[in-house]
Amino acid sequence: MSQSRNSRREFLRNMACLACSGSAAALLPQLRMMGTAMAATTSLPAGYKALVCLYLQGGNDSWNLLVPWDTARFNTYAAARNGVYNSSTNSNGLGLAQPASGNAQIVTDLNNGNSATNKYFLHPNLTNLASLYKSNKLAFAVNVGSLKAPINMADYKAGTSVPPQLFSHADQTGQWHQANTSTTTALGWGGLCADDLQGQDANQTSNPQLSLCISIAGANRFEIGNIVNNPYQLSSSGLTNLNGMCNPCSGGASNSSLRDSALNDLLAATYPSDFAAEYGNVFGDARALFSTLKPNLNTGTYAVSTTFPNTTLGNQLKMVAAMIKLSKAQNYATRQIYFVQLGGFDLHSGFMSSADANNPPGNTSDHAGLLYQVDQAVNAFWSEISAQTLTNNVTLFTMTEFARTLQSNGSGADHAWGGVHFALGGAVNGGRLYTQGMNGLNGKGIDGAFPNQSYGTLTNPNPNAFSRGQFIPGLSVEQYAATFAKWMNVSGTGLTAAFPNLGSFPGGTLGFLPTA
């Protein structure tokens, strides 16, 4: 193996890609702590920005996240979902009940001036998100999915520009993490954006060991780039001491100090093997970074002031908030990209297992319970970011493999395609739905604003939806992702590297964030 920096980077990136699939997790546990060489060439605009990806693993049924409220479209929705769920009279139904006028979960799309079709309602467990939407801090991107180019049903049937392996969890996760449909790359759009930002960021040299990409949910493709090889990983409880070590030692000899001394000798040794030498360098950098972060992370003046829910997602977002507070105060970076994940959304059964959708509990593993966890955790995160006075500096957004079929399979829904996503932040032009209908795509993609003509049923399918209610996306993942990248000040060259097909989609980015 070559001793060159490029060869070592290539080696580490390839091993990081293996780690994402679990193949190398046991072999190279310390690669997750890889620090990256900082090559400052130009300077970013002043100020700090953080992007937080919330991945809803399993395929979120987002057509129950946001539902048309007007009677005509609601009735079409309810029919397509096998009726409104009732545990006694319609246990196979997947539809939510239509709330009465004036209900807090009803919201208005400020992008649509038609009072007859501009009202929607959020799932009843998303009360906090509804409030954030009404305060214009949250926006929805409607019918987003993996695409090579704009297509309609005729294109799909002809096999024109159809993404590979639709409806596959693994493949669609990869395509969302990549933001494109390539089967030959293992790089993610977050990592490629971090590559570009790192090259611009002169201030990043203040801590050359801390990656711009930080994960609280383990290895992921989203944060793998060419230079930023792998995210720095923390658990939701923070950093964990090495077992039986001093971390570091102070004062007289002990078993721990002897182990510490022996480890330091091993790390300082000269190795003929590039593999062993690079592993030692990475491990040593990780220990140094640990010593820098551990004393201050979520302690003293760097502790978060908000009470977060003690849930999977609540604890992950609490750690993100703590890292943002510490990183901003210590000037560790001017740009950071975070990754958190909540699983359980692959609900082929038990979708509404516990109670009527009118009054869903918040502590269950059905869809209502999962959305409740999202709502509570995201609201706590927003409260903490507000307390840090960083609302205009932080944007949180959702990704998931795909939406679910509108049609019930008996007690759940199966894999579909385009779905609804949200972005939250002080810079977000919220209170709006961002869509692209037939006119914007030259006859390609789903029609109308939500889609507003027909959800599609077994007897009357939407022309650009499959018979069970799987929508051909009207917006591409590349358009959605590039909107965040431009806000983060990724350069034109960086955008081309991360989003090679963006020019195929009329309009480019979606407009819910400023581009500078």
Domain membership flag for residue 225: yes
CB 194 within 8 A of CB 213: yes
Most confident of 193-202, 255-264, 436-445: 193-202
Q: Which residues contact 180 (CB under 8 A, 6 or more apart)?
A: 146, 148, 189, 477, 478, 499, 500, 501
More confident residue, 384 or 438: 384
Whether 59 has a pLDDT exceeding 70, the answer reads yes
Domain membership flag for residue 331: yes
Give, for 141, the enclosing helix (H) or strand (E): strand 138-145
Confidence band of 129 (pLDDT split at 50, 70, 90)? very high
pLDDT tens by residue, 340-382: 999 999 999 999 865 544 444 566 789 999 999 999 999 999 9
Q: Which residues pair with 293 in a beta bridge?
A: none
Whether 108 has a pLDDT exceeding 50, the answer reads yes
Domain membership flag for residue 509: no
In this prediction, residue 361 carries a pLDDT of 57
More confident residue, 499 or 288: 499
Per cent of the chain over pLDDT 70 is 80
Number of domains forming the structure of the chain: 1
The domain in which residue 481 lies consists of 34-239+302-504
Label residue 24 exposed, middle or buried (CB < 10 Å: 0-12, 13-18, 19+): middle
Angle subtended by helix axes 477-487 and 189-200, to nearest 10: 20
- Cβ atoms < 10 Å from Cβ of 389: 10
Domain membership flag for residue 391: yes
Confidence band of 25 (pLDDT split at 50, 70, 90)? very low
CATH number at residue 370: 3.40.720
Whether 37 has a pLDDT exceeding 50, the answer reads no
In this prediction, residue 9 carries a pLDDT of 53
Domain membership flag for residue 516: no
Domain membership flag for residue 332: yes
Confidence band of 28 (pLDDT split at 50, 70, 90)? very low
More confident residue, 47 or 13: 47
Mean of pLDDT values over 433-446: 54
Measured CA to CA, the distance from residue 451 to residue 222 in angstroms comes to 29
- Cβ atoms < 10 Å from Cβ of 488: 22
Domain membership flag for residue 68: yes
> According to the 3-state scheme, what is the secondary structure of 362-386?
CCCCCHHHHHHHHHHHHHHHHHHHH
Mean of pLDDT values over 287-299: 89
Measured CA to CA, the distance from residue 323 to residue 232 in angstroms comes to 11
In this prediction, residue 250 carries a pLDDT of 62
Q: What's the mean pLDDT when you consider all of the chain?
A: 84
Whether 489 has a pLDDT exceeding 70, the answer reads yes
Confidence band of 458 (pLDDT split at 50, 70, 90)? very low
Confidence band of 7 (pLDDT split at 50, 70, 90)? low
Confidence band of 467 (pLDDT split at 50, 70, 90)? confident
Whether 132 has a pLDDT exceeding 50, the answer reads yes
Confidence band of 22 (pLDDT split at 50, 70, 90)? very low
